[in-house]
Amino acid sequence: MADNKPPRLFLSPPHMSGREAGHVAQAFASNYIAPLGPQVDAFEAAFAEHTGIAHCLAVSSGTAAIHLALRCLGVGPGDLVLAATLTFVGSVAPAAQLGADLAFIDADRASWNMDPERLREALEFFAKQGRRAKAVIPTDLYGQCADYARLLDVCAPFGVPLLADCAESVGARYGYDGIGGPGRHAGSWPGLAASIFSFNGNKIITTSGGGMLASADAGLVARARKLSQQAREPAPYYEHVELGYNYRLSNILAAIGLGQLETLEARVAKRRLISHWYAEEFAATPGLSLMPEVATGRANRWLTVVLIDAEAFGATPEDVRLALEAENIESRPLWKPMHMQPVFAGRPVFGGRVAGELFARGLCLPSGSAMTRDDVARVARLVRASGRGSAE
Ligand SMILES: Cc1ncc(COP(=O)(O)O)c(C=O)c1O
């Protein structure tokens, strides 16, 4: 029997521009089929140019970049690391794997990102115990930058470095340049110790899998570069005084990244348009609202997230997810907060109610940059139809 289902509509599939193949062909022609080579160098340089972050290290994943950054910040067994609870596990797993004591910070309702006041509460709580965090890791959730300036203000008196998890915010902006235009690229704000980015297959631009560690601190990135190459000492033979990792990005994958980076601004514009279309579609539906965009920057709208008031709307996020799934459309609950994860049971959390509520009420909708207006209308029609009182 023929399968009449329409092709699956994914949450955020890769979107190739056609330019990637040329860069990959060049990589093949040079025979740098290796985790080093001209395309890796060019990708790092292009990313530095695009973001305005002076030193960039291309690595095999965003998680690897966080791991390296934490090593460079001196995080080890028993050290305190504070992280956003509303995030993906890759943001915090490296700290746990280094033996650090993780504590989680709630989201604020306005931005869904790390709440600076909850962070202050946590830093003061631990200071009273004579403990100072080795790092604070805010996440730029779904492509909206955390409030770096406020977080830095909170961290400054405690002397704690901020490591920005910009895995989801490639192409987003933060701050304003004083003449009304969007300010600096995500993760490039002065005062951040380092920032990490992800080019996983589901991100706004992808290398199929990959990441970047970026910092204004040349020394930090140089040390991370060494650690990412098995911590080899500068000698003709393999000499090691410490242990590192095999975390470099393949030259072939960097070639894909070069092609993708050329399209980044167009991809951001399209994802923002998709979000705008969803907003139009849901404007008159009681109980539906989108993740808010705060005035401190310009989100890349990597994923459009709808918040569902089940009572007003007449259906739960899970009802909607199942209705979309029945039509072969992928949607996904928000990240389950880290303080609710069995693996982190018993870890301290400062607040936690906001993240818990957002998890219970939110749903990530298909947001791929190849979507058409008709695709969005179809998804939105199905969403609305699963609610109460719909005429559709
Ligand atoms: C917030 C966040 N942090 C970290 C990561 C880890 O990145 P990667 O998958 O490249 O390891 C991701 C995404 O995958 C993420 O969404």
For residues 298-313, give the mean pLDDT: 97
- Interval 315-330: pLDDT, tens: 999 999 999 999 999 9
What pLDDT is recorded for position 389? Answer: 56
Whether ligand 1 lies within 6 angstroms of the CB of 94 is answered as no
Whether ligand 1 lies within 6 angstroms of the CB of 200 is answered as yes
For residues 176-184, give the mean pLDDT: 69
pLDDT band at 6 (very low <50, low <70, confident <90, very high): confident
Pocket test for ligand 1, best of 88, 202, 203 (most atoms within 8 A of CB): 88
What pLDDT is recorded for position 181? Answer: 64
- Interval 340-352: pLDDT, tens: 999 999 999 999 9
> Cα of 211 to ligand 1 centre, how many Å?
9
Amino acid (one-letter) located at 319: D
Residues of the chain with CATH 3.40.640.10: 20-261
What pLDDT is recorded for position 326? Answer: 96
Mean pLDDT score across all residues of the chain: 95
What pLDDT is recorded for position 179? Answer: 56
Whether residue 392 is predicted with pLDDT greater than 70 in this model: the reply is no
> Cα of 385 to ligand 1 centre, how many Å?
33
pLDDT band at 5 (very low <50, low <70, confident <90, very high): confident
Whether residue 135 is predicted with pLDDT greater than 60 in this model: the reply is yes
Ligand 1 atom closest to 210 (CA): 10
Pocket test for ligand 1, best of 57, 63, 113, 212 (most atoms within 8 A of CB): 63
pTM, two decimals, is 0.97
Cβ neighbours of residue 193 under 8 Å, at least 6 residues apart?
Answer: 69, 73, 135, 161, 162, 163, 215, 217, 220
Whether residue 182 is predicted with pLDDT greater than 90 in this model: the reply is no
CATH of 20-261, one of 3.40.718.10, 3.40.630.30, 3.40.640.10, 3.90.1150.10: 3.40.640.10
Whether ligand 1 lies within 6 angstroms of the CB of 85 is answered as no
pLDDT band at 215 (very low <50, low <70, confident <90, very high): very high
Calpha distance 315→321 (Å, rounded)? 10
Residues found in the chain: 392
pLDDT band at 3 (very low <50, low <70, confident <90, very high): low
Residues of the chain with CATH 3.90.1150.10: 264-385
Whether ligand 1 lies within 6 angstroms of the CB of 138 is answered as no
Whether residue 81 is predicted with pLDDT greater than 70 in this model: the reply is yes
For residues 227-247, give the mean pLDDT: 97
Class level of CATH domain 264-385 = alpha beta
Percent of the chain with pLDDT over 70: 97
Percent of the chain with pLDDT over 90: 94
Whether residue 193 is predicted with pLDDT greater than 90 in this model: the reply is yes
- Interval 267-286: pLDDT, tens: 999 999 999 999 999 999 99
Higher local confidence (pLDDT), 302 or 35: 302
